[in-house]
Amino acid sequence: MGFIASVQGTLLARPHRHLFTSILPTRFYSHMAKAQPHPFCLTFLGTASAVPSSTRSQSALALRNGTDTWLFDCGEGTQRQIQGSNVKMGRINKIFITHLHGDHIFGLVPLLAGLLNGSGGMVDEDDPREFLNVNKPAVEIYGPLGARAYVRSALAFTQTTLAQAYVVHELRFPDDPKTGDFTNLRKHHSESPSGRNIQQEDGVWKDFLKDGLVSFSAAPILHSIPCVGYVLAEDSLPGKVDPQKYIPELKRTGTPMTAMRDIKEGKRVKLNDGTILEGPSRRPGRKVVILGDTYDPSAIAALGQDADLLIHEATNAHLPGLDPRTKEEDTHELVERRTKSRGHSTPQMAGAFAKRINAKALVLNHFSTKYSGNDDDPPSKAIMDAIRGLAAGVADCEVHCSRDFWTYSVEVPTE
Amino acid sequence: MGFIASVQGTLLARPHRHLFTSILPTRFYSHMAKAQPHPFCLTFLGTASAVPSSTRSQSALALRNGTDTWLFDCGEGTQRQIQGSNVKMGRINKIFITHLHGDHIFGLVPLLAGLLNGSGGMVDEDDPREFLNVNKPAVEIYGPLGARAYVRSALAFTQTTLAQAYVVHELRFPDDPKTGDFTNLRKHHSESPSGRNIQQEDGVWKDFLKDGLVSFSAAPILHSIPCVGYVLAEDSLPGKVDPQKYIPELKRTGTPMTAMRDIKEGKRVKLNDGTILEGPSRRPGRKVVILGDTYDPSAIAALGQDADLLIHEATNAHLPGLDPRTKEEDTHELVERRTKSRGHSTPQMAGAFAKRINAKALVLNHFSTKYSGNDDDPPSKAIMDAIRGLAAGVADCEVHCSRDFWTYSVEVPTE
């Protein structure tokens, strides 16, 4: 206890200047814009496994939905990748961590420092930046047990001051403690105490969060350490209304035009003359599955069924004749066994999972640093094309290999 | 204690597979190459204050001395900056941290993971990468109190495995505890227990380390949190020997040629006929002063006197007419007061300190993110030229503004 007590008692002591109560909402509540569907624009900010290279940064993926931006994983350098991308940092309001390996989380605290106007304090006076802006909701972080302790300890030891609040909600596994913070460092002055410890039910975290039209679920996926995949499921969307089909009927019967609101929602409406009009059938909402590192994501299959998009890692591949680093004794089976033993997947494994959940599209990411992300270089492009081909040969859908700064959109369905 | 106990007892438990004894030297011992002077090549890997920009990464500076590379500070993204530079990552054997603010340390643990063959472990079997390579000496990290705890907690929470050892030596301030690790997380499997807690004597840490010809000292410099500056002082070097002056004399008197060794070292040698020959006077070794963030580095002035090179921060400057962000009410005094209140310096303050210690050259770094590092852009270059000019107007030596990837060499003196 001695040194932790020192940490708390001297160097890192900060008065709790701010009460975290309901004045600090930890969710964005729906407003009108949230009720409208927008394209889901996914920008790959980092597509490397483990060590970055000149062409690939560590894992990070931004999903823009209207004015919201949600970040999935945050490897080292994510802040700078955002600066070079079409993603606006200030719009990030939720960050989802798949697992605590450094290449997925090393950029999180630097990002918070940039996003929340972090500073190193003042000499001989109070730093106005230390006073939390209570009008802004806390940036929400979701991740497995330890995410809260990691962020708290990094902020404490670097003596970082933030001008906005953050909160860490943890997706707790059955073997994890059900309560507590996994550290006895006391809360940072900008950490909201409303962080939830979200328990699994029936082996998954179903609908642990709702934001506008989107429900977030998660499930454990197998890796060398506890790891989760996320499923974003949109509410069903109104069907397309043909006004010529309805408006003359409303006019003819003198029914108020406000009935169109129900019709647009797909409801049945009784006109003034007793006629029943039925709105168009609602369209199913979109579904996006974003996995962390895994050698077996079976537990997320049910939640992810019929996804419009699956993001699946493909760390290593057997590419004889193309990849000069291929060993003579290597076979597909040997490479797959080695890849699995490190908790990872081959393109074929990703393709098979896309087929299993009937995904409409598969995007591969998290490539070994030996696979360059420079598509302008013909040998590199040949390798990425081959990786794509290995997955496409198994999957029954379109397949892409991601590279840094590439954006893929899941459009609002038109019918 | 509960959760720290959990950290130690379950999720993060790792057998101490390796004994750290003298088989794991924590210093590089001198060998022949170390006795030869080499140019000191300083490559600026990151020159931004606080937040990175497209042209400047967070603080990091590599000093190459022969086959050794010493790193000073390690902001986020340093690993990737190294990949894009002329610095070889595998040669880094010592890392010096000036203070614990994130923009100087966020890249340290990612760098260790890359440098020491970090991995995320294996599924169902032991990872051969977990077994420490005991033939390689530990990478040494030096920094203020908390550096050890920061590295340990980041490695623990990210469950990172390293294949080589590291050690953290802390420069303890008078108010710091004299012993202990500042955390009760137990040591990482790759952390050498030989980390020293180095106490100040007479207000400085004089000669706390010797590597080959170079002695390292440090002194506290004033900032918003505890911060140090480093002084690298080279032993005096042999004078230039003119063989024509000595060899005929040795031959004439039949004195063994081995006497040349003493002559080269500047010693007096008695020839076989009793004649005394005096070797050339030894030349003073070089001195480099590398400061962290500061608004007053006075305490390092004596150690840094007559430096060949001073690296000094210059975070903010008053640049009316040049910097469009200049406020109408701003004056030099106001900008300097604001800069000091945040623990930083103006170019004039850097120039004045260079003059005070009689430095031969001054290089400025740690520029506010508003000062672009793109010298190909005329307005940006004009601003950096003006900053340089403000310092040069006060300093009595050559002055440069650093930018990312720029290398400055302190050559071996020729006479």
Inter-chain CB proximity B4 and A183 less than 8 Å: yes
Query: What is the reported pLDDT for A92?
Result: 98
B237 close contact with A: CB closer than 8 A: no
In the block, which residue shows the tokens 């400047």?
B56
Establish if B415 belongs to a structural domain: no
B72 and B160: one domain?
yes
User: How is residue A332 written in tokens?
Assistant: 């597909």
Q: Give chain A's end-to-end CA distance (angstroms, integer).
A: 62
CB nearest A225 (choices: B120, B153, B341): B120
Q: For residues B365 and B372, what is the distance between their CA atoms, to the nearest angstrom?
A: 12
A407-410 and A40-46: which strand pairing? antiparallel
Are B399 and B350 contained in the same domain?
Answer: yes
Considering only CB atoms, which chain A residues are within 8 Å of B143? Answer: none
Q: Are residues A176 and A195 in the same domain?
A: yes
In angstroms, the Cα distances linking B91 to A272, B64, B88 are: 84, 9, 6
Given the residues B73, B103, B293, B404, select the one marked as catalytic. Answer: B103
Residues B205 and B299 in one domain: yes
Confidence (pTM)? 0.91
Each residue of A335-376: pLDDT tens digit? 999 999 999 999 999 999 999 999 999 999 999 999 999 999
Number of Cβ atoms within 10 Å of the Cβ of B295:
22
The structural domain count of chain B equals: 2
**Cβ neighbours of B175 in A, within 8 Å:** 10
Return the pLDDT at B55.
97
Nearest to B38 by CA among B414, B311, B415, B411: B411
* B112/B56 same-domain check: yes
- Chain B residue numbers with beta carbons less than 8 Å from the beta carbon of A10 are 175
- Helix, strand, or coil (residue A108): helix
- Same structural domain, A198 and A310: yes
- Count of CB atoms situated within 10 Å of the CB of A84: 12
For the residues of A324-372, what is the DSSP string, one character each?
Answer: TT--TT--HHHHHHHHHHTT---HHHHHHHHHHTT-SEEEEE-B-TTS-
Query: How close is the nearest chain B Cα to the Cα of A295, in Å?
Result: 9
**Other C-beta atoms within 10 Å of A35: how many?**
10
What's the mean pLDDT when you consider all of chain A? 91
Q: What are the pLDDT digits (tens) for A13-46? A: 343 334 333 343 434 444 567 878 999 999 999 9
How many CB atoms sit inside 10 A of residue B278's CB? 11
Whether B315 is in a domain gets the answer yes
Give the span between the Cα atoms of A267 and A327, in whole angstroms: 63
Three-state DSSP at B211 gives strand
Whether residue A258 is found in the same domain as residue A317: no
CB-count exposure of residue A328 (10 Å: 0-12, 13-18, 19+)? exposed
Closest CA to B146 of A108, A2, A161, A3: A3
Q: What pLDDT does residue A240 have?
A: 87
> Which residue in the list A68, A103, A181, A211 is annotated as catalytic?
A103
Same domain, A102 and A216: yes
Which runs of consecutive H residues, i.e. helices, occur in A222-346? 243-253, 259-264, 301-304, 332-341
Domain that holds residue B73: 30-236+284-410
What's the pLDDT at A238? 87
Token pair listed for A316: 């290593």
Residue A21 counted as domain residue: no
Chain B: residue whose CA lies nearest to A102 = B158
> Per residue of chain B (415 residues), what is the pLDDT tens digit?
333 333 333 333 343 334 333 343 434 444 567 878 999 999 999 999 999 999 999 999 999 999 999 999 999 999 999 999 999 999 999 999 999 999 999 999 999 999 998 888 889 877 776 677 878 899 999 999 999 999 999 999 999 999 999 999 999 999 999 999 999 999 999 999 999 999 999 999 999 999 999 999 999 999 999 999 999 999 999 888 888 989 999 999 999 999 999 998 889 999 999 999 999 998 999 999 999 999 999 999 999 999 999 999 999 999 999 999 999 999 999 999 999 999 999 999 999 999 999 999 999 999 999 999 999 999 999 999 999 999 999 999 999 999 999 999 999 988 6
Across the interface, of A102, A223, A342, the residue whose CB is closest to B110 is A102
Residue pair B111/B79 in contact by the 8 Å Cβ criterion: yes
Question: Alpha carbon of B51 to those of A80, A121, B164, B315, B371: distances in Å?
Answer: 9, 15, 31, 12, 12
B103 part of the active site: yes
Boundary residue ending a domain (A220, A254, A278): A278
Query: Would you call B79 and A52 a contact, using CB atoms and an 8 Å cutoff?
Result: yes
- Is residue B5 one of the residues assigned to a domain? no
- Give the integer Cα–Cα distance in Å for A272 and A295: 60
Q: Are residues A258 and A402 in the same domain?
A: no
Flag whether residue B80 sits within 8 Å of chain A, measured between CB atoms.
yes
Asked if residue A339 and residue A271 are part of one domain, the reply reads: no
The angle formed by the CA atoms of residues B24, B27 and B28, to the nearest 5 degrees, is 105
Is residue B14 a part of any domain in this protein? no
Quote the minimal CA–CA distance from B385 to chain A in Å: 26
Domain boundary among A257, A278, A299: A278
Query: What CATH number is given to the structural domain containing A180?
Result: 3.60.15.10
Tell whether A249 and A376 lie within a shared domain. Answer: no
Query: Is residue A384 in some structural domain?
Result: yes
The residue among B251, B277, B303 that closes a domain is: B277
pLDDT digits (tens, 9 = 90+) for A230-240: 999 999 998 88
Same domain, A289 and A274: no
In a domain, B72, yes or no: yes
In a domain, residue B6? The reply is no
